[in-house]
Amino acid sequence: MEMVPGPRATTHEWILLQPRSRGMTIAEPPTKRIAVIGATSRVGRAVASRFLELGWSLELTARNTDRIDPAIRSSDESSSTVARCHALDLADADAVDRAIDSIGRAPLDAVVVAGSPFDETPLAEATADDFNLHSAAQIAGPARLVQGLRPALNAAASPAVMLFGDIHAWSRPRAHATPYLVAKAGVEAMVGLLAVELAPVRVFGLSPGVVGWPEDWPESRRKSYLERVPLGRAGTPEEAAGLVRSLLVDATYCTGIVIPIDGGRHLR
């Protein structure tokens, strides 16, 4: 039997299916593969679930892999879709190198960096360690990861990278989270830089407002925040995952853009 050639066939291991009729052999491309960095975050879980529904194989990372949703990490043995878990702290350079080695062994269609440490440390209380931690986890770690995965991304047909900033880093600065938001501003700046450096890999950024409430926000603070949101409600992780899917799968002639997902908060 002779395999039918297709795009990028030299970089993929195509699957030969048994003929269904009259001796015909059908070749199918392999399952697409996505790395979801921070798969235990609410948005990370939603992104992983969305792409699992699309039939993509998942490379899931978390600082503690035991916390990854069992419904996502379980794979159907009858399917070509698989989910592999990797321990990764983006602030740990050695852990980033190990993740690159493990994830980057085959063509990779997408990388989504969905998780990062969050805290509301005001400038008056911030230490050098606070700034260094956020810089390592949100800027240096993701940049090094994407750099190391570049060969695997280049081996895919239409690869893309998604980073997450914060609407309060640039459009609507606020107090009491300076180390975190300084790093998020760096993430949003990095979107355009990586789009140029990694081309033709597409690079996108999302700039969320509230996409799922922080658990420690009291009702009074939530109400006050929503008064400045034109759509009058918080977003959901599922809405963020839907936008991620649209950009990674459908926006094949776009790159280097940061899109607010904030219910219009950037307007007020």
In CATH, what number is assigned to the domain containing residue 107? 3.40.50.720
- Whether the per-residue pLDDT at 209 is higher than 50: the answer is yes
CA-based end-to-end distance of the chain: 63
Strand partners, 160: 110, 202
List pLDDT tens digits, range 132-163. 999 999 999 999 999 999 999 999 999 999 99
Least confident of 26-30, 80-84, 90-94, 157-161: 26-30
**243 inside domain:** yes
Q: pLDDT higher for 99 or 268?
A: 99
pLDDT category, 71, cuts 50, 70, 90? confident
d(CA 97, CA 102): 9
Closest Cα to residue 203, out of 236, 165, 242? 165
Mean pLDDT of 171-180: 93
- Whether the per-residue pLDDT at 178 is higher than 50: the answer is yes
User: How confident is the model at residue 74, as a pLDDT?
Assistant: 64
- Whether the per-residue pLDDT at 16 is higher than 70: the answer is no
User: How confident is the model at residue 72, as a pLDDT?
Assistant: 83
d(CA 235, CA 167): 13
List pLDDT tens digits, range 210-230. 998 988 899 999 999 999 999
Least confident of 64-73, 92-101, 214-223: 64-73
- Whether the per-residue pLDDT at 22 is higher than 60: the answer is no
**The total number of structural domains that make up the chain:** 1
**134 inside domain:** yes
**188 inside domain:** yes
As a whole number, the mean pLDDT across the chain is 88
User: How confident is the model at residue 75, as a pLDDT?
Assistant: 55
**197 inside domain:** yes
**16 inside domain:** no
- Whether the per-residue pLDDT at 12 is higher than 50: the answer is no
**100 inside domain:** yes
CA angle at 145 for the pair 140 and 148, rounded to the nearest 5°: 120
User: How confident is the model at residue 10, as a pLDDT?
Assistant: 29
pLDDT category, 19, cuts 50, 70, 90? very low
d(CA 66, CA 60): 11
State which residues form the domain around 55: 26-267
- Whether the per-residue pLDDT at 78 is higher than 60: the answer is no
**15 inside domain:** no
How far, rounded to the nearest angstrom, does the alpha carbon of residue 184 sit from its chain's CA centroid?
A: 14
Strand partners, 60: 36, 85
**82 inside domain:** yes
User: How confident is the model at residue 29, as a pLDDT?
Assistant: 60
